[in-house]
Homo-oligomer: A and B are copies of this chain.
Amino acid sequence: MTSAPHAAPVPFRTLEQAAALVRERGLRLTSPRRLVLQALFRAEGPVSAESLAGRLTLDPASVYRNLEVLEGLGLVRHVHLGHGPGLYGLLAGGEHEYLYCEHCGKVTALAPDALDPLRDQIRARFGYEARFTHFPITGACPDCARSRGGESV
């Protein structure tokens, strides 16, 4: 999960396309690697390396290493939602940005351009080019915000 330079996201949609990309880069499509890819395609949202290792009966180290190479290929990204392990998800369909409720744990994935107006405002005020792909926008979701007025964390 080390912060190494990542490849620019290459458009892909299917497991076959992802598999092809792995081979094109001269890497091998081994059984564990295919399983990880498959599991990510089936997952609802981002999942932890440990949970993948568990459900696939693979060694965690292999899962971590695979996620790392897949991330290097631009097929996978990880996000940090609150404390707890990093969560990995496919980049099929482009980058996602996230809203994360630190009270109930709810996660909302947004389309790549949903936060553009926000990004514009941040750029204008602070000059920062903000991304909410690796760390989400964190706070209270509508429900939690309602049920707890102006409380502190």
A interface residues, Cβ below 8 angstroms from B: 1-3, 5-9, 74, 80, 82-83, 99, 101-102, 108, 117-118, 121-122, 125-142, 145, 151-153
List of B residues within 8 angstroms of A82 by Cβ: 3
CA distance A131 to B135 in the complex (A): 13
Contact B118 A152 (CB under 8 A): no
Q: Which of A1, A5, A82, A126 has the most CB of B within 10 A?
A: A126
Contact B139 A130 (CB under 8 A): yes
Contact A142 B121 (CB under 8 A): no
Contact A153 B134 (CB under 8 A): yes
Q: How many copies does the complex hold?
A: 2
A5-B153, A129-B145 given; name 20 further pairs at CB < 8 Å. A6-B153, A7-B152, A9-B152, A102-B134, A117-B121, A118-B118, A122-B139, A126-B142, A127-B142, A127-B145, A128-B140, A128-B141, A128-B142, A128-B145, A129-B139, A129-B140, A130-B137, A131-B138, A131-B140, A134-B153
| Nearest CB in chain B to that of A7: its residue | B152
Contact A8 B152 (CB under 8 A): yes
Q: How far is the CB of A136 from chain B (nearest CB, A)?
A: 7
Q: Which of A132, A142, A152 has the most CB of B within 10 A?
A: A152
Q: How far is the CB of A125 from chain B (nearest CB, A)?
A: 8
List of B residues within 8 angstroms of A142 by Cβ: 126-128
Known: A83-B3, A129-B145. A8 touches B137 (CB 8 A): no
